[in-house]
Structure 1
Amino acid sequence: MIMSLPEEDLTCPVCCDIFMDPVLLKCSHSFCRSCLKCCWDTGLRQCPVCRKRASKSSPPSNLALKNVCEALMQDRRQSSGLAEEMMNCNLHGEKLKLFCLLDKQPICVVCQSSKLHKTHDCSPIEEARLDCKDELVSSLKSFQDKVNSLKIIQKTSVDMLKFITNQALETQRLIKRQFEQLHQVLYQEESARLAAVKKEEEEKFAAMKDKIKEFSAEVLSLTEAISVIQQQLKEDDMILLKNFKDTQNRCKSINLESVNMSGLLINVSEHLCNLKHRVWEKMLNHIDFTPVILDPNTAHPCLILSDDLASLHYLKQPGCCPDNPERFHLSAEVVAMTALGSGSHQWVVETGSNQDWLLGVASSSVSRSAEISARPENGFWTLCFREGEFRAMTSPPTLLTLSRTPKKVKVQLDYNKGTVSFFDPSDNTLIYAFIHTFTETLLPYFYTQSTHPLRIIPEKVLVTISQQ
C-alpha cells in the first residue's frame, strides 16, 4: 500500500513533510494537527488550501492516513538502521573504513590489525569505491562490447545461412552441368560405337547376300552340267564318244574350288575389346587437370572467380558474400584450396593483358583482415607486375629487367629445398627465385586489380598402363 502511493500524497501542504497526527476537514483536505492549529491561531478558521470555513468543533483524526504515514516512517527508520548496520563491521561493530585488496571486501581498523588481514594490502574505503567502480565500469563496457559484437556475429550468421543455401544450390548446378558434359561425351561415344556395329552389320549382310547370289548361280550351273552328263550317259556309245570332248570342256569350265566363308561374321572382339578403357581414354581428350584450384571462401568480394575456379578478375562493385574469417577483407586477394607442406609443385598462370598482379605463395597463417605488404617477413613470396615493371617482392622490392614481357608465368615451389622460383614457360627462363626455410604450410597466392583475368593453365592427363 505504501509503495502504491506517491510520497507527495503523504505530505502535509503546510509543513511539506510526512503527516504527523493528520486530521481531516470537511472539504476533504488533510493537515498535521499542529500545523492546522498554528494556521488557525492567526484568527482565520478556514482550510489553508481551499479557504473554505471550517466548523468550530475539533476536526477528526484521519486514521487511515495516519496508519499509512506511520508505516512509511517505520520503513524509513528500518532502512536507515539497516544502512547504518551495513556501514559497520559485523565482527567488531566498528565503522568500515578500509578495503582489503586481497580479499576484496571492506574491513574496519580492528580487522586490519587481526591475523586475518594483518599482512594484506588495504586502501581507504573512498579510494576503493572509485577503483571498484572503475573496474565495474570497465567490465560493463567489455560486456556491452561483447554483446554488440555477438549481435553483429548473429546477424552475419543469419546472412551466412542464406549464403550457404545459395552456395549449395550453385555448387549442385555446376556439378550437374559438368556431369551433363561427361554424359554428352559418353552418349556421343555410345552412338558412334553402336553406329560402327550397325555399319559392319550392313556391310556383312550385303557381303553375305552377294555370296548367296554366287552360290545360287554356281548351283544352277552345276545342276545344268549334271543334267547334260546324265543325258550323255543315256545316249548311244558312239554319240557319247562324239560329244565327250564338248561335255568334258563344259565340265572343266565350271569352278569346283572350295567356297571361302571366312571374315563374314561381325568382329565382336573388335567392338568389345577393352571397351570401357578405350572410351575412358577418349574421354581424357575432354578432361583437363588444373594443378591449383582457387578457394572461393577466401576471395575478396571484388574478385570474380570462374565456374571451374581456375581464373579470377577484378570488379569494382563488390559481390554479396559473408564476412567469414577465411576471406581477405581489405585487399583483392585469394589463395588456393590445397595447403602445400612438402615436395615439389608447379603451376602456370596465363597473365595475358593483365597489367596489375601478384603471384606466388603465402603462409597459411597470413592475416586476412589487415592490409599488409606481400613481403617474406609477412609470409609472402611473390612476383609483382605493375605499371609495366616487374618486381620481386623482397624487402625492399627488387626491380627486375626482362628482355620481354611474358604472357604466362610458371610458379615452382620446392618446399623441402626452400625455394620459390618464377619462370617464363615459353623458354623456361628464370625470372627470380626466393630462398627461405619454410616452417608452415603454404598456399598458392593471387592478387589483381585488373578486369583482365588471370587464368591457371590446365594440364593434359596422361595414362600409363603398368603390366605385372
Structure 2
Amino acid sequence: MSSGLSLPEEDLCCPVCCDIFRDPILLSCSHSFCRACLQRFWETSTARSCPVCRRRTSRRNPPANLALRNLCDAFAQGRAHREAAEAARQLCAQHGEKLKLFCQDDQLPICVVCQTSKAHKGHECLPLEEAASDCRAELIAALKTLQDQLAALNKIKSNADMTLQHIKVQAQSISKRIKDQFLKLHQFLFEEEKAALLAVRKEEEEKVQMVKEKAVVTAERIDSFSETIRRLQQEAAPANDLTVLQNFKATMERVQCLELEGELAAGSLMDESRHLGNLRFRVWEQMRRVAPYFPVTLDPNTAHPCLSLSDDLTAVQYSSPAVEILSNPERFRMSAEALGCTGFCAGTHSWVVDTTGNEDWILGLAYRSVQRNAEISARPKNGFWTLCLRDGVYRAMTSPPTVLTLSGKPKRITIELDWEEGEVSFRDQEEGTTLYTFTQSFAETVFPYFYTQSTLPLRLLPQTPSVTKKD
C-alpha cells in the first residue's frame, strides 16, 4: 500500500471476487461490492439482495462508493510502484541486465556483463541462489549469536535485579544483627554502670556512717569537756578557800581523765581513683566476656548455598538452603566450601577451629583465585593447603594425600600461617602437638578455607587480645 494509506489489503477486497475493488458500489446495508460482481450475483439470484447479509435492496443501480474507489486506486498505484521498484531491483543499474551472480569479493549482486568488466574481473562469483544460501546460513548463525548474546544480557539483567533485591535483604539482615549486638553491648554497659554507681553509693554510705559515728563520739566529748569546764569555773571562784583545797585533788583527777578526740582517720573521703581511674579500660576488659575477639570470621558471600553460617559469622554447618541464594562471582557453586573474610599477604597469623562432633571437614588456606565453579581437590597445586578428616581418617591434602597417624582425635585445630617463611602448620591445641606443616612460597593473598558436609558445626574460637605498654 502507499504510505498515505492505513487500511490493510483485505479491507479493500470485494467479498465476491476477493480481489481489489473495481468500480465499487455501496448498498443500503453498507456493504460494498464490485459493480460487475454484484450484477453477476443478481443475475443468478431470484431477488436483488446483498451477497453478504441477504438484505433486499430496491435500487437496481446502487450508487458508486467514491471514497472506497479512491482508496483502491491509490492502493493499486502503490502496488504498481512497488512491483516496478522490485523489477528494477532485479536489474543491473549499470547494464540493465538481470542480476544473476553474486561477487564474493565486493559482496554485491552483479549481472553477467559486470562479471566480465574490469570492476569485477578475476573476482570469485557465485550464482545468486547458491550465494543466497550461503549468506542465509551466515545470517542464521549471526542471528543465533545475537540471540545468545541477548539471552546472556537478559540473564545479566535478571541477575542484576536479583542482586539489587538481595542487597536490600542483606542490608536489612545486617542492620538487625547490628542492632541485636549493640543491644547486648548496651545492656552490658547498663549493668556495668549500675554496678559502678552501686559501688559509689555503698562507699558513700560507709564513709557517711563512719563520719557520723565520729561526730557522735565528738559531741559526747564536747559535752564532757563543757561540764568539766563549768565545774572548774565553779571550783576556781573566790569563795571558800577550804572548799577549793578539799576538792582540788578530785577535780584535777577528773581533768586528767579527759582525752581530746582525734581528727578524722585517713581514708575518710571517697576513693575517687578507685571508681574513676581507668574506668573505661576496666569496663573494656570486662566487656571481653560479651564481646569476644575472633581473628578470623567467615565471608557469607563466598559460602556454598548448602552451608549455613551463624549470625556472628563464626560457625558453619551443612544444611539444605531455605531460600534461593544469589549466584555471585565470589560464591562456591560446586562444593560445600567457604572462605574467611580477611586475606593475608604478610606476617604471622593463627586461629583455632573447634571440630567437636564433626566427622567430615577440610580446613586450611586457599588463594583468592581458586576455581569456584568447578569441583577440584583442595591441594597445593590447585591453590589449597589443607587438612582433611573423612571416614575417620586424617589426611594432609598433598599430592597424593598424606595419611596421618594420630594417637587421638583432635577436637580443636590450630591453623598457623607464617607468610614470609611460607609455612602453614596444623596443631592439636589441647595436646600442643604439630599434626602437619606445609612449606610453600606464596604468590598471592591467602584466605582461611572451610569445607564441611556435616550438620554439626565447625566453630571458630575467640582469642584474648593482648595489651602492650610502650615506653
Specify if TM > 0.5.
yes
Q: 2:191 aligns with which of 188, 191, 214?
A: 188
- CA deviations 1:430-449 (Å, max 9, x no partner) are 22233333323222111111
Give the whole-Å Cα distance in 2 for the aligned partners of 1:88 and 1:252: 150
Name the counterpart of 1:393.
397
Tell me the TM-score normalised to structure 1 length.
0.81
Give the whole-Å Cα distance in 2 for the aligned partners of 1:355 and 1:108: 80
Q: Which amino acid aligns with 1:434?
A: F
**Conservation of the 8 A alpha-carbon contact between 2:362 and 2:450:** yes
Tell me whether 1:200 sits opposite 2:203 in the alignment: yes
Shift of 1:318: 4.5
Q: Which moved more, 1:363-372 or 1:169-178?
A: 363-372
Shift of 1:105: 3.3
Name the counterpart of 2:231.
228
Q: Which structure 1 segments of 5+ residues have no match?
A: 23-27, 33-45, 54-58
Q: Which amino acid aligns with 2:168?
A: T
Give the whole-Å Cα distance in 2 for the aligned partners of 1:394 and 1:263: 69
Partner secondary structure for residue 460 of structure 1: coil
Shift of 1:359: 1.3
**Conservation of the 8 A alpha-carbon contact between 1:348 and 1:411:** yes
Shift of 1:95: 4.7
Shift of 1:418: 2.9
**Conservation of the 8 A alpha-carbon contact between 2:221 and 2:261:** no
Tell me whether 1:86 sits opposite 2:89 in the alignment: yes
Partner secondary structure for residue 455 of structure 1: strand
Name the counterpart of 1:142.
145
Shift of 1:409: 1.5
Going from structure 1 to structure 2, the CA distance change for 1:262 and 1:10 (only over 3 Å counts) comes to closer
**Conservation of the 8 A alpha-carbon contact between 1:12 and 1:30:** no
Give the whole-Å Cα distance in 2 for the aligned partners of 1:249 and 1:326: 98
Name the counterpart of 1:168.
171
Going from structure 1 to structure 2, the CA distance change for 1:103 and 1:353 (only over 3 Å counts) comes to farther
Give the whole-Å Cα distance in 1 for the aligned partners of 2:248 and 2:270: 46
Tell me whether 1:343 sits opposite 2:340 in the alignment: no
Name the counterpart of 1:330.
334
Shift of 1:454: 0.5
Going from structure 1 to structure 2, the CA distance change for 1:419 and 1:109 (only over 3 Å counts) comes to farther
Going from structure 1 to structure 2, the CA distance change for 1:171 and 1:63 (only over 3 Å counts) comes to closer
Q: Which moved more, 1:297-306 or 1:313-322?
A: 313-322
- CA deviations 1:147-186 (Å, max 9, x no partner) are 3333344344434333322221221111111111111221
Give the whole-Å Cα distance in 1 for the aligned partners of 2:43 and 2:23: 21
Q: 2:384 aligns with which of 354, 377, 380?
A: 380
Tell me whether 1:407 sits opposite 2:411 in the alignment: yes
**Conservation of the 8 A alpha-carbon contact between 1:361 and 1:445:** yes
Shift of 1:266: 1.7
Going from structure 1 to structure 2, the CA distance change for 1:120 and 1:394 (only over 3 Å counts) comes to farther
Give the whole-Å Cα distance in 1 for the aligned partners of 2:207 and 2:249: 41
User: Percent identity, aligned pairs only?
Assistant: 46
Tell me whether 1:239 sits opposite 2:243 in the alignment: yes
Give the whole-Å Cα distance in 1 for the aligned partners of 2:156 and 2:388: 36
Partner secondary structure for residue 414 of structure 2: strand
**Conservation of the 8 A alpha-carbon contact between 1:350 and 1:409:** yes
Tell me whether 1:273 sits opposite 2:281 in the alignment: no
Give the whole-Å Cα distance in 2 for the aligned partners of 1:270 and 1:66: 111
Shift of 1:70: 8.2
Going from structure 1 to structure 2, the CA distance change for 1:239 and 1:185 (only over 3 Å counts) comes to same
- CA deviations 1:24-77 (Å, max 9, x no partner) are xxxx77769xxxxxxxxxxxxx95997459xxxxx9xx9989999987776666
Going from structure 1 to structure 2, the CA distance change for 1:429 and 1:124 (only over 3 Å counts) comes to farther
Give the whole-Å Cα distance in 1 for the aligned partners of 2:194 and 2:21: 108
Q: 1:286 aligns with which of 277, 286, 290?
A: 290
Give the whole-Å Cα distance in 2 for the aligned partners of 1:165 and 1:422: 39
Partner secondary structure for residue 325 of structure 2: coil
Give the whole-Å Cα distance in 1 for the aligned partners of 2:316 and 2:287: 27
Q: 2:373 aligns with which of 344, 352, 369?
A: 369
- CA deviations 1:374-409 (Å, max 9, x no partner) are 233333222221111122223333333222221122
Partner secondary structure for residue 236 of structure 2: helix
Partner secondary structure for residue 133 of structure 1: helix
Q: 1:133 aligns with which of 129, 132, 136?
A: 136
Give the whole-Å Cα distance in 2 for the aligned partners of 1:447 and 1:187: 40
Give the whole-Å Cα distance in 2 for the aligned partners of 1:262 and 1:290: 46
After superposition, where does 1:414-433 map in structure 2 within 5 Å? 414-433=418-437
**Conservation of the 8 A alpha-carbon contact between 1:349 and 1:409:** yes
Partner secondary structure for residue 230 of structure 2: helix
Going from structure 1 to structure 2, the CA distance change for 1:109 and 1:339 (only over 3 Å counts) comes to farther
Give the whole-Å Cα distance in 1 for the aligned partners of 2:298 and 2:341: 6
Give the whole-Å Cα distance in 2 for the aligned partners of 1:140 and 1:149: 14
**Conservation of the 8 A alpha-carbon contact between 1:29 and 1:49:** no
**Conservation of the 8 A alpha-carbon contact between 2:21 and 2:34:** no
Name the counterpart of 1:43.
none
How large is the RMSD of aligned CA atoms in angstroms? 3.8
Going from structure 1 to structure 2, the CA distance change for 1:227 and 1:116 (only over 3 Å counts) comes to farther
Q: Which moved more, 1:210-219 or 1:122-131?
A: 122-131
Give the whole-Å Cα distance in 1 for the aligned partners of 2:249 and 2:75: 161
After superposition, where does 1:40-189 map in structure 2 within 5 Å? 51=44, 78-101=81-104, 103-108=106-111, 123-189=126-192
Shift of 1:222: 1.2
Give the whole-Å Cα distance in 2 for the aligned partners of 1:320 and 1:69: 61
Give the whole-Å Cα distance in 2 for the aligned partners of 1:404 and 1:295: 31
Q: Which structure 2 segments of 5+ residues have no match?
A: 25-32, 47-60
Going from structure 1 to structure 2, the CA distance change for 1:19 and 1:188 (only over 3 Å counts) comes to closer
Give the whole-Å Cα distance in 2 for the aligned partners of 1:85 and 1:404: 93
The total of aligned residue pairs comes to 447
After superposition, where does 1:246-257 map in structure 2 within 5 Å? 246-256=250-260
Q: Which moved more, 1:219-228 or 1:436-445?
A: 436-445
Give the whole-Å Cα distance in 2 for the aligned partners of 1:245 and 1:7: 151
**Conservation of the 8 A alpha-carbon contact between 1:361 and 1:444:** yes
Q: Which amino acid aligns with 2:248?
A: F
